[in-house]
Structure 1
Amino acid sequence: MTDATSAPPSAPRRTGLAALELDTRLLGMIGAFVLIALAFHFASDGRFVTPRNLFNLTIQTVSVAIMATGMVFIIVMRHIDLSVGSVLATCSAVMAMTQTMIVPDMLGFGLGSPATAPIAIVMGLVAGAAIGAFHGWLIGYLTIPAFIVTLGGLLIWRNVAWYLTNGQTIGPLDETFQLFGGINGTLGTTWSWIVGLIAVAAALWGLWSARRGKIAHDAPVKPLWAEGVVAAIIAAAILGFVALLNGYTVPSRVLERRFEAEGLTMPEGYVEGYGVPISVLLLIAVAIVMTVIAKKTRFGRYIFATGGNPDAAELSGIDTRMLTVKVFALMGVLCALAALVASARLTNHSNDIGILDELRVIAAAVIGGTALKGGVGTIYGAIIGALIMQSLQSGMAMVGVDAPLQNIVVGGVLVAAVLLDIWYRKRTGARD
């Protein structure tokens, strides 16, 4: 009987870094982010790698990253969605109008009622799913190319959002709704550490379960020292991230107003950190769910099988038309979640919300390693790609780069990322 702490006899002997079995593509993306951060840090006289800037960078990344996870499935199936920014705008408009008109006027609940935010979020999710399913029906059943359907959607839904609000900015939004925006909704330092420790425990349990599963099937496993190094890296990354966000402290004037509102005097030297934003927890939850869908469900296997070879997938009995509807409906739901985060961060709905997000989302997925030929893509890659995109834009804005030049750089990075991905696949012969 094979012990759970020893490698099976069939496991090849590996030494040094090879024993860690690290994902070279993941390391490359992390390395690119580190280089970008350091370059802008020095160029901005030490203002980029600070708790405040990285906190803001994180919450600015969330909405694009959420949509990028869905764009992975779209591109994996050899489609494209150019309408995500406009769908986001429509979902944002629906949620804003629900809070300010539908709930107070039709249901009798005032702004601030506990029911307002949940009803608005559900309405936004339903609107996003319906729009996405409609796109999928046009593509899957009427065989209109996804490029044309979503290009039309880019124009249609942007202007539907305008008509829903009569071109007005709608706000301020419900305070509970604003909790999903970032700085208006955080866990605080204590709960952030608790969540961080829970995340470390979950990660270690996942590593151990994966090792036991490999041993049970006589598959090769890493040496125990290598498992320990990987576990230490993951734990350090999680706790370091929490420490970084906890390091961004609430301005003293904000704390003073809070104490005054409660009739108290703020203690001298009192400091309070923001902690992990609720929007980041939402992104983590989306990433986990999408990863499970991709790797552990029949739905996910069908997506990658269809993208790898659509004809073979259809001949094997996969209903590719309904699968297309489901994937685009899922994309619509993710657009609604992104709308929730984006409008909550702004505390209102504005007509320009989500403009050019479709390009950022596609770029994030591609930079993250999703192959435009289909069949290949990862959720974590898309999220890191979104972080790299936002880092570039935030860093260039910080050092005073003009907006036109920012777009030139982002476009160049996108093309370069595709070229590097082509070279990588040719060199390694890999499909994932």
Structure 2
Amino acid sequence: MTEVTSTAPADRARASELGPVARFLRATELDTRMLGMIGALLIIWVGFHFLSGGLFLTPRNLWNLSVQSSSIAVMATGMVLVIVTRNIDLSIGSALGLIGMIMGVVQAEFLPQVMGIPLGGPSIWVLALISGLLVGLAIGGFQGFLIAYLGIPAFIVTLGGLLVWRGAAWWVTSGRTVAPMDATFRLIGGGPQGSIGATASWAVGIVACVAFVLLLLVARSRRKRFRFPLRPVWAEGFIGTIACAAILGAVWIANSYPWPIGIVRRYAEANNIELPEGGLFIAHGIAIPVLIAVAVGIVMTFIATRTRFGRYVFAIGGNPEAAELAGINTRWVVMKIFMLMGVLAAIGASISSARLNAATNSLGTLDELLVIAAAVIGGTSLAGGAGTIAGAMLGALLMQSLQSGMVLLGVDTPLQNIVVGVVLVLAVWLDTLYRKRII
């Protein structure tokens, strides 16, 4: 059977009347909103690179930027589902702080002093991580129950949670900073040891490229089977080429950032390696928190687009009354969303506390604003019913790029908050204009 890109002559006639850009977008089926975000991100990067005297677009800064974005990106994937159902979670930053403090106390004080398991024991980091996940699940379940079954507005419940969980984090240790973290647990936060190295990074990049190409082929096969219109072969090749180039380019940048000289020297001494005259180059490779964020993004995308639960979430956001009349247990779905949000907060807390090698009372402060901003900038509508996981993760990268660039330029923290607030309002305004145009 001959492959065709359209079965309707009228569609081909209308397509011939479009301009070259519109025909390209129609053939590739690229999301214009996502392209706009990528364009804005590139403009921000180039602008900060110019203003910082060439410091922004360097392997070191881009590698650090990816690590700094990981925690926010992880939580933004859950915030998409929360906002899609016309709810909000203002407590996520405080919940992260409490969970991080509990994980710190478990591995630095409770297990060594009470249970007799020394810091650095083979299972101490696992027990600490499990405790954080359980606390996050409990926090999310409790807030979800109040919202779904008692009918208290999410804004009020999570606003109260913002205060309660932050106070609870202080109460756990009476304001003390808990440190250090377990050595294995610290790998979750990145750093020279918390990266997978050059060889493994190239292997991950190649596997990711192969997987992406296979997904394109599977999607094309399914379209043929159900007699859906097919993209032109050149469009499939273009998408695959650009995606693989982006993946391998990111790996190349990660492998271009070497370990600091002092750490290399200590590593060489510990392993009886003679340092060459020009020094020893050891690449960081992809950081473990980045891999965690990517894995969470893939899983959350699958949940949102390929499961019954995901379809229920978007159905509730589109029309809650119709969803309930259709037989969807809307209360249970909403409660599960907040439970999932709590688990993602625990993952974000593990990344943040491991990166700091400490649990502090200020951990997660104002993270709720960055997470909400990332989801909204990524295309999640505050009116509910629309949003993408990939867009939220890209929004997290954009928000962190703004903060990183302003730090390089020496911008004061209050002004940084002003910029974040302005960007959030601007994003909502642009979303309103976009939806008026497509409706």
TM interval, shorter chain, is over 0.9
Aligned runs of 1:74-113 on 2, under 5 Å?
Answer: 74-113=82-121
1:374 is aligned to: 384
Aligned runs of 1:230-309 on 2, under 5 Å?
Answer: 230-269=239-278, 270-309=280-319
1:66 is aligned to: 74
- Tell me the alpha carbon deviations over residues 63-93 of structure 1, each in whole angstroms, 9 at most, x when there is no partner: 0111110000000000000000010011101
- Tell me the alpha carbon deviations over residues 180-227 of structure 1, each in whole angstroms, 9 at most, x when there is no partner: 102140010110000000000101101110010011000011111111
Among candidates 114, 121, 128, match of residue 120 of structure 1: 128
Cα separation, 1, equivalents of 2:434 and 2:142: 36
In the alignment, is the contact (CA less than 8 A) between 1:200 and 1:234 conserved in 2? yes
In the alignment, is the contact (CA less than 8 A) between 2:5 and 2:231 conserved in 1? no
Among candidates 219, 228, 241, match of residue 219 of structure 1: 228
Among candidates 160, 166, 174, match of residue 166 of structure 1: 174
Note the residue ranges of structure 1 that are not aligned, 5 or more in a row: none
Q: Give the counterpart letter for 1:372 in structure 2.
A: L
1:134 is aligned to: 142
Among candidates 406, 410, 423, match of residue 413 of structure 1: 423
Q: Give the counterpart letter for 1:153 in structure 2.
A: G
Cα separation, 1, equivalents of 2:44 and 2:334: 37
Q: Give the counterpart letter for 1:172 in structure 2.
A: P
Using the TM superposition, give the Cα deviation of residue 261 of structure 1 relative to its aligned residue in structure 2, in angstroms. 2.1
Cα separation, 1, equivalents of 2:339 and 2:215: 30
1:205 is aligned to: 214
Q: Give the counterpart letter for 2:7 in structure 1.
A: S
- Tell me the alpha carbon deviations over residues 363-387 of structure 1, each in whole angstroms, 9 at most, x when there is no partner: 1100001000101000001011111
Q: Give the counterpart letter for 1:139 in structure 2.
A: I
1:178 and 2:178 matched: no
- Tell me the alpha carbon deviations over residues 320-358 of structure 1, each in whole angstroms, 9 at most, x when there is no partner: 111111000000000000000000110111110000000
In the alignment, is the contact (CA less than 8 A) between 2:6 and 2:230 conserved in 1? no
- Tell me the alpha carbon deviations over residues 148-167 of structure 1, each in whole angstroms, 9 at most, x when there is no partner: 10000000001111111221
Q: Give the counterpart letter for 2:239 in structure 1.
A: V
Using the TM superposition, give the Cα deviation of residue 265 of structure 1 relative to its aligned residue in structure 2, in angstroms. 2.1
Cα separation, 1, equivalents of 2:214 and 2:240: 10
Q: 1:156 to 1:268 in 2, by over 3 A?
A: same
Cα separation, 1, equivalents of 2:375 and 2:134: 25
Q: Give the counterpart letter for 2:417 in structure 1.
A: N
Using the TM superposition, give the Cα deviation of residue 174 of structure 1 relative to its aligned residue in structure 2, in angstroms. 0.4
Using the TM superposition, give the Cα deviation of residue 408 of structure 1 relative to its aligned residue in structure 2, in angstroms. 1.1
In the alignment, is the contact (CA less than 8 A) between 1:10 and 1:218 conserved in 2? no
Using the TM superposition, give the Cα deviation of residue 262 of structure 1 relative to its aligned residue in structure 2, in angstroms. 2.6
SS in 1 for 2:239: helix
Aligned runs of 1:47-66 on 2, under 5 Å?
Answer: 47-66=55-74
Cα separation, 2, equivalents of 1:151 and 1:115: 36
Among candidates 304, 308, 313, match of residue 323 of structure 2: 313
Q: Give the counterpart letter for 1:146 in structure 2.
A: A
In the alignment, is the contact (CA less than 8 A) between 1:8 and 1:215 conserved in 2? no
Cα separation, 1, equivalents of 2:176 and 2:257: 34
Using the TM superposition, give the Cα deviation of residue 394 of structure 1 relative to its aligned residue in structure 2, in angstroms. 1.0
1:43 is aligned to: 51
1:192 is aligned to: 201
Cα separation, 1, equivalents of 2:169 and 2:150: 26
TM-score (norm 2): 0.95
In the alignment, is the contact (CA less than 8 A) between 2:197 and 2:286 conserved in 1? yes
Using the TM superposition, give the Cα deviation of residue 401 of structure 1 relative to its aligned residue in structure 2, in angstroms. 1.4
1:423 and 2:420 matched: no
SS in 1 for 2:227: coil
Q: Give the counterpart letter for 1:73 in structure 2.
A: L
Cα separation, 2, equivalents of 1:278 and 1:136: 31
Among candidates 138, 153, 161, match of residue 145 of structure 1: 153
Cα separation, 2, equivalents of 1:428 and 1:229: 26
Using the TM superposition, give the Cα deviation of residue 18 of structure 1 relative to its aligned residue in structure 2, in angstroms. 3.2
Among candidates 338, 343, 351, match of residue 333 of structure 1: 343
Cα separation, 2, equivalents of 1:106 and 1:316: 52
TM-score (norm 1): 0.96
SS in 2 for 1:109: coil
- Tell me the alpha carbon deviations over residues 104-150 of structure 1, each in whole angstroms, 9 at most, x when there is no partner: 23332110111011110000000000000000000011101101100
Moved more, 268-277 or 360-369: 268-277
How many residue pairs get matched? Answer: 426
Q: Give the counterpart letter for 1:53 in structure 2.
A: N
SS in 1 for 2:119: coil
Q: Give the counterpart letter for 2:154 in structure 1.
A: A
Q: 1:119 to 1:208 in 2, by over 3 A?
A: same
Cα separation, 2, equivalents of 1:277 and 1:326: 30
